[in-house]
Structure 1
Amino acid sequence: MTGVDARREDAVDELREADLLAHGELVPAGERAPDGGLAAAPIPVRCGRPLLYPVPVGDLPVYLRRRAEATGGSYVGALFAFDLDALPRGQRYTAAWFEVTLADLRALAARLDGDGGALGLTYLADDAEPASATATHVVAATRTRPGWLRRLASRAGTPRAHVFGIHRHEFGWAYEDPRGELLVPRAHGMHALLELPAGTTRVAGTLDVRVRVAGGRERYGAGLRESVRFDETLSPGCPVDGAAVRLCMAADVSGYSRRSTTAAEQVQRDLVALLSRVRRAAGVPDSDVAPQPQGDGQFTVLPVGIDEAVVISRLVRGLERHLRELNTGRAPADRLRLRVALHRGLVKAAANGWVGVAAVAVHRILDSPPLREALAARPAVDFVLGLPDVLFQDVIAHATQPPLPADFAPVTVDLPAKDFVEHGWLYVGPGAAG
């Protein structure tokens, strides 16, 4: 889950002429009309000029940093965009594919992001803030491309992109819903992290677009008449905001409002002591944090510069161990059961607490139906944890210590009243010891 804002189709601006690489036509494949012409009219498509920006090795996710140190390659972020034309009444796009082929066979896609959340962008209202060091560079780069960050936001009622071709010079994104329940949008934005040979100064290749159309009795596929060529010179990059990206943690007690005043006081004492022990066991001393009390919950911003792979693993294992110890021997109604969420982003202390998109997004996850339902459906479980897709991709997907990737299940946080859609991951803690 990363705080990806829900967007309507009409909220995404069309590509500006200044940002266009080429106009093209998608030609129906296969069947011909009786007169030998095309079975359907060509579909206009507009391809944006790729936006490339350098990413310093020190700002890469840890697993790519290690790879860069071993291979000596350089890393470049790449933003792609295309617009499909509106179809005749009664027809709709049921699938769209965008493919990139790099001319240099030594170059490859080190990472492909299905949306802004996977990249590390957190959206609230019209703001997009970075939730990773890598994302700070895309935010800086897109100052010259108004509207491109919005293209990366998830949109309610549309399929999420599936990526293909990681670690290859040919790669792409597929937007399709086999069940036919979601609408494929007409305006798209995609992000890749490219690994290039050392000393590379230009990136060249071709772009291809394909679609599938349905409506009434008509069902057909169409693709570009000719691949669109691109050849871009690498720029030195733009200055980035010097603010640090920090990990945020929020916790909330289940069933707090049903307890008596005396019991609620005990719950608060237990919660504060528990979370302090958990953080210390993860290597975060009390002197490095300033937890924000919330009665039945707590919000904490962790220090700058922590090793997230180590800290997150220890936090989860600490929650398991200390909740088990606390709840052993307690009656079911007296157990401390928690919803916990993690997020990452630019936050800063203000007059009455922390401010920043990540500080809001972590509470969206914490209070979301997937976490509430998971805990309610498993009375023996001590806690559930939700985190955004960017943390899963950057940290959990490469974990060698529990929790491991297989321990998580994908979820979507869809909060229409908050205009918020977020793809993320759910971890269910172990059951009570008895």
Structure 2
Amino acid sequence: MDADTPRRHDASPGQVPHDLLATAELVAGGALRSRDRMWRAGVALGRPLAYALPTTGAGSPPMAGAATLLLCFPFDLEEMPAGCGYRKIELAVTFDDESLRALDLQPGAGWAGPDGARVTAFGLGRNRLRWTFEAPRTGGTLSPDGRWAQAVLASPAPLTDVSGRVQVRGVIEHPLLSGTRAEGEVRTRDEVPFSLTRADVWAAAPLAGRTPRPGAWALTGHESIGPPGERLPPGRQHLCLAVDIEKYSTRGNADMIRLQRSLLRVMRAACARAAVDWDACGRQAQGDGYLLVLPPETDDTRAVPHLLDGLAGALAAVNREPHGGTRSPLRTRMRAAFHHGIVHEGDSGYAGSAVVELFRMLDADPLRALLADDQSTDLVVAFSDRTYQDLVPQGYEGLSPVGFKRTDIRVKQFAGVAWIRSHGHAGPPPPDLTAPV
């Protein structure tokens, strides 16, 4: 394989699937001369994120009868040597199905990024789309952070799969050997193909009256606001799992994006190990954390130990992976908490005292301190007193009281008891963790 050819990143057996579609070097084009090359540029293309906007009733599987789709294309620009920078970057997407039409493009005209980048978008009503990010002023450059582009697509027929090609072009500013500076065109040598099947697509619904943004789409149904006096939504007993990533806010933008992708993969891998139906769970993303509300029929005695082993195994796999061609100097580590209680599905998320107690345990200083002090593990866990007494001392396989410490928890107005311990990696993940996320 040529060194300049985009490299596909697929999961190898027994590992968590990779979140990258491909990494590619940006090679010289136009008048940019290789003998003047004191720069090196590249791009990491994330796997497209897909959300089916259902036209059928609630609970329909993703893409079943759906003719509208939201696709988000994340990508990371590689940092360049000192004195070099990106003046302009263009992301071009071409869909193989020529009947697809773009109904909306974001970012759109007039949008400005945190670094002041000016954005233009082309392709409304077509199957060939293009976003251009340009530095805000003469002499300025784009920050090499994670970026995204997304489109709402319509099809005249129900969607069963979506495929196409992605290419990145740009203009860089770089020094010459003569001591002067120049601009030159760069691009990925080839278009990078992508393909999404029904299994890759989330069921989603747009937030009414809002401009679509990544993460601003309900993953488990329609967001709605009930009228005053409406009956409460059903409250049912659920096992709940919440996780939070250590030191997330200290990371740069690109690392935050990678961590969010890794978090989703870790959660899905844990469910796969525990034979928990991911699509049957209530799910609520929290940026650096995640809430999983397991189905009422879950066998807690089997699910809890396997979820813990799945989390630990997936974290170990993530921390073995290179990021953008280099091994990340910072490990992905997290806190987890389990609790069982009555949960309601409210208008903007899951509600109930059980959810509050769960997150108070997750945020408690003793659990944070345990993770900070025990550098031999990537995962620490807290059980509520009730969940601990129901499961841990009862002799169930995979659950032992060894290592647990009873701890008083005080967070804001909450006071209670939790049982905490470190949790190590229990072995390799099973083969089904290679399923795409």
**TM-score, length basis structure 2:** 0.42
Larger relative contact order (C-alpha < 8 A, sep ≥ 6)?
Answer: 1
**TM-score, length basis structure 1:** 0.42
